[in-house]
Structure 1
Amino acid sequence: MNHSKFRFSVRFQSTVRNIDFNPESLSLTPRSTVFSLIQPTGRFHLGNYLGAVRNWKDIVEYAPEPTRLIFGVADLHAITIPKNAKELRDNRFEAIASLLSTGIDTEKAVLYHQSAVHEHAELSWILSCLVSMGNLNRMTQWKSKSSNVGQNASLGLYSYPVLQAADILLYKSNFVPVGDDQSQHLELSRTIAESFNRTFGKTFPLPNTILAPTRKILSLKNPEKKMSKSDPAQNSCLYITDEPDIISKKIKKAVTDSISHEFKYDPEKRPGVSNLINIVSGIQKKKIKDIEQEISAFKDHKQFKDYVTDIIIEELKPSRLKFNELLSNKDYLYQAVEKGNEKARVVAQQTIKEVKQKVGLE
C-alpha cells in the first residue's frame, strides 16, 4: 500500500478544514466514532470504491485505538424506491462481499445491515418530530430524485435525510466519511442534533464530515455525469469485479477528445481525459499535477489509455479475486454480517434507551 500522504477534508459546522491524511496517524480525536453506510446496489463500481469504501479500509487499518468504527449497508434507504425483493436480497450480500473484498477487517470494525437494527427506524421517527418541512424541502437530492417520479414521490424519499441523521446519531458518530453529494445531508444531521440537544439536553455530538480525497468519478461514456450502475450504457461503468479484458475494453471505449499531443487535467474543456486522470490520481493517492507529470511524454490516446488500464487492473485484482471467493461461501457472509449486527445492536440499544428517557417515552 502507498503510505504517502493524501488529503481528506473535514467539515466543521459551516467551514471546511483540509488536513493531510497520513494513514499511519489519522487525525481522529481519542475515543471517537467513525460511521458510514453505503447503499446496496450489488457489486461496487469504481466510484463506490474510490469515493467511499477504500477510504473506510484505510481508516480501519490505521485508526488509533480506541476508535470505534462502524460501517454498513443502508438497505432501509434502498427501498425509498421499491425494488424486486430477490434483487434486494442479492444486492445486500453482494454489498457485504464487496466491502469485505476491499480488505475491511471485521475484527477492528463493525460491518452490518442497517435493517437488522430496528433502532434506526425508531430514532428516525423521534427525530422527524423535530425537523421542519422547510429544511427537508431545501434538500437538493430530494429535488433531483423527486423530479424523476413527480407526484408519485414517496414519503420515504422525502424523509430520507431524517433516517440518515438517525443512522449517524444512533451511534453518536463524531466523523462521517462521505462524498461531496452527501455534505448537505451531514449539515442537516448537525442541525437535527443541535435541535435535540437544545430541546431535551445534551445527548448527541455534532458529527463532522470527512470528505474523500478523490474527486467524483464520472461516467466513462458521458463525463458530464457521475458513474452509475443504473446507466443504460454499461461500458460507462467499471466494477471492482470486472475481469482485465473487460476493463481494457471499457477504457479503450472511454470518451476522451481529439487532442493527442498532451494530456492535461481540465474538467471543463477536457472532461473525459480529466476523468481518467482523476481515476489514476485516486488509485495512486497522488496529486493531479504529479499524474500530469508522469504522462507528459505520452504521444497518443492509446499510450494514455493503456497506462490507465494497467493501473486499474492492478488495483482491482485483489478485490475481484476476494469477491468471487466470498460469493462462493455464503455461510461465511451470513456469519460475518450477523456478528456485526449484534455489535451494532448493543450500541444502538444504549442510545435509544437514553433518547426515550429524555423524551419521556420511558
Structure 2
Amino acid sequence: MTIKERVFSGMQPTGSLHLGNYLGAMVQWIQMQETHECIYCVVDLHAITVWQEPKELRHAIRQVTAAYIASGLDPKKSILFNQSQVSAHAELAWIFNCVARLGWLNRMTQFKEKAGKDRENASVGLYAYPNLMAADILAYRATHVPVGEDQKQHLELARDIAQKFNNDFREQIVAAGHEDGVFFPQPEPVITGPATRVMSLRDGTKKMSKSEPSDMSRINLMDDTDKIADKIKRAKTDMEPAPPTDIEALKARPEIDNLVGIYAALAGISKEEGLKALQDTASEGPSIFTGLKRVLTEVAVEKLGPIRAEIVRLMDDPAEIDRVLADGSARARAIAVPILADVKDIVGLIRS
C-alpha cells in the first residue's frame, strides 16, 4: 500500500512564540503547505506535562494559533488544531506506552535536562512525553516531520516505535491488507530552513528558548518596535576589534555568528551576504557592530511588525480562533480516527 506524503509538526502553548520558532520552524512550515498535505498542531497535552495555570493556558492556545495564522499558515491549505480536541493522540499514546521500552525513554536527554536534579518529582507525563510525540505523528501516518535539532532524538524514538509495532504485529498487519507488513511509516526528519538553530541574544552558545529566565535573550513575536530595538541594541557581541574576515572566522565568534545568521534569514540573503553587511557597516559607530545592529533592527521590525499586528487583531476575536481550531480538529479526526480503529483491530481490541 502506498502511503501518502504527509507532514506533521507542532508547538507548545507555553509562553509567547519567538524569533527562533519563526525562523527555525514556521518559515519552513509555510513553504511546505504549498507542496505537501500539512497538519500543524498546538500541542496542549504536551504543555501540561508541567503545571500550567488553566486560564493562561487557554489564552496561550489561542495566541499560538493566532501566531500560526499571522505568520502565514493558511487554515484552508493546512489543518490547524489543538491536540486535546483529537482523542486519538492520547489513545494511541497509551498503546505506544505498551510498545516502547523503558530503556529507550531512559536515553532521552531532554527529560534529564527538564527534570533536572529533582527527577523523582517530575510528572510521569514529562517522562513519557516522547511516546505522545510519536502518537502525534503516527496517528496521521505522517511521513515528514519538520523538527529542530533538539527534537531529533524524539523523532528517532518515533521511528523505533513504528518499526517495533510493525514487527510485533506483522501477521495482523498483513491480514489487514498491508501486504508489505508495514502499517506505520518511518517518519523522516526535515531539518532545513533559513536559520534552523537561532541562539540566545545573551549567550551565543545556547538556543533561543521560551524557558530562558531573561526576556532579553529572545525576540518574541509579540514584542513591539521599541522592545525589538532595545533587545537587539543590548544583544551580546564580543570585544574583538575587527569583524570576522570569512565564514570560518565567523563561526568562532558565536554571538556575532548568531546576529549575522538572524539578519541573513530575515533579509532573505545568504550568510556570506550577511557577513558582508557587517563588514560594510563596521565603521558606522562606536562599536564595529553598531551598523549590523541597525540593519538587523530595521529588517526585524519590517518582518515581525505585521505579524504582531495580525496576532493582536486575531486575538480580538477569540470566537473566530475557536472556530478555526474546531474546524481543524474535525478534519484531523477524519484522518486519525480510521487509523486508530485499524490499530485497535491489529492489536486485538474490541471496538463498537
TM-score, normalised by the number of residues in structure 2? 0.90
Residue correspondence of structure 1 range 242-253 to structure 2 within 5 A: 242-253=223-234
Contact kept, 8 Å, 1:36 with 1:176, in 2: the verdict is: yes
Matched-pair contact (CA < 8 Å) for 1:42–1:94: no
CA distance in 2, matches of 1:231, 1:358: 44
Equivalent residue, structure 1, for 2:238: 257
Query: How much has 1:53 moved relative to structure 2?
Result: 1.5
* Root-mean-square deviation over aligned CA pairs: 1.7
**Which amino acid is the alignment partner of residue 267 of structure 2?**
Q
Cα shift at 1:176:
0.4
How far is 1:308 from its partner?
A: 1.1
> How far off is 1:222 after superposition?
2.2
Q: Residue 56 in 1 paired to residue 37 in 2?
A: no
Distance 1:340 1:273, change over 3 A: same
Show the counterpart of 2:314. Answer: 326
How far did residue 267 of structure 1 move? 6.5
Q: Report deviation, 1:263.
A: 4.3
Identity of aligned residues (%): 39
Letter in 1 for 2:14: T
Are the counterparts in 1 of residues 147 and 190 from structure 2 also a CA contact under 8 Å? yes
Which residue, out of 229, 232, 243, partners 2:210? Answer: 229
Partner of 2:278: 295
Q: Which amino acid aligns with 2:116?
A: S
Deviation at residue 268 of structure 1 after TM alignment: 6.0
- Give the letter aligned to residue 264 of structure 2: S
Contact 1:45 1:237 in 2 (8 A): yes
Structure with greater strand percent: 1
Q: Distance in 2 between matches of 1:282 and 1:267?
A: 16
Instruction: Give the equivalent residue in structure 2 for 1:172.
Output: 141
Count of residues in Structure 1 that have an aligned counterpart in Structure 2: 330
Partner of 1:36: 9
Q: 1:30 deviation in Å? A: 9.0
Separation in 2, partners of 1:153, 1:312: 38
Equivalent runs, 1:258-273 vs 2, <5 Å: 258-263=239-244, 266=249, 269-273=252-256
What is residue 45 of structure 1 aligned with on the other side? Answer: 18
Asked whether the equivalents of residues 99 and 165 of structure 2 are also in contact (C-alpha less than 8 Å), the reply is: yes
1:316 matched to 2:304? The reply is yes
Contact 2:244 2:250 in 1 (8 A): no
Q: Distance in 2 between matches of 1:178 and 1:284?
A: 22
Q: Output aligned runs, 1:330-345, within 5 Å.
A: 330-345=318-333
1:360 corresponds to: 348
Aligned to 2:48: 79
Bigger shift: residues 257-266 or 119-128? 257-266
Matching residue's letter, 1:45? H
Between 342-351 and 312-321, the greater mean CA deviation after superposition? 312-321
3-state SS of paired residue (1:231) = coil
Segment of structure 1 superposing worse, 280-289 or 180-189 = 280-289
Match of 1:284 among 267, 281, 295: 267
Equivalent residue of 2:309, what SS? helix
Moved more, 290-299 or 131-140: 290-299
Do 1:173 and 1:205's aligned partners in 2 also have CA atoms closer than 8 Å? yes
Please identify, of 103-112 and 281-290, the stretch whose mean Cα deviation from structure 2 is larger: 281-290
| Equivalent-residue separation in structure 1 for 2:5 and 2:203 (angstroms) | 40
How far does the alpha carbon of each residue in 1:211-240 deviate from its partner, in whole angstroms, 9 at most, with x for none?
032231111122232212232221111011
Residue 190 of structure 2 aligns to a residue whose secondary structure is strand
Computing the radius of gyration over CA atoms, which structure comes out larger, 1 or 2? Answer: 2
Higher mean C-alpha displacement, 279-288 vs 209-218: 279-288
Q: Which residue of 2 aligns with 1:163?
A: 132
Tell me the SS of whatever aligns to 1:297. helix
Q: Distance in 2 between matches of 1:354 and 1:295?
A: 56
State the shift of 1:278 in Å: 1.4
Residue of structure 2 in register with 1:125 after alignment: 94
> SS state of the match for residue 134, structure 1?
helix
Look up the SS of the partner of 1:257 in the other structure. Answer: coil
Alignment match, 2:186: 206
Q: State the alpha-carbon separation in 2 of the partners of residues 232 and 138 from structure 1.
A: 27
- Contact kept, 8 Å, 1:110 with 1:340, in 2: the verdict is yes
Q: 1:111 to 1:304 in 2, by over 3 A?
A: same
- 2:92, 2:319 → 1: CA distance? 31
Quote how far apart the aligned CAs of 1:81 are.
0.9
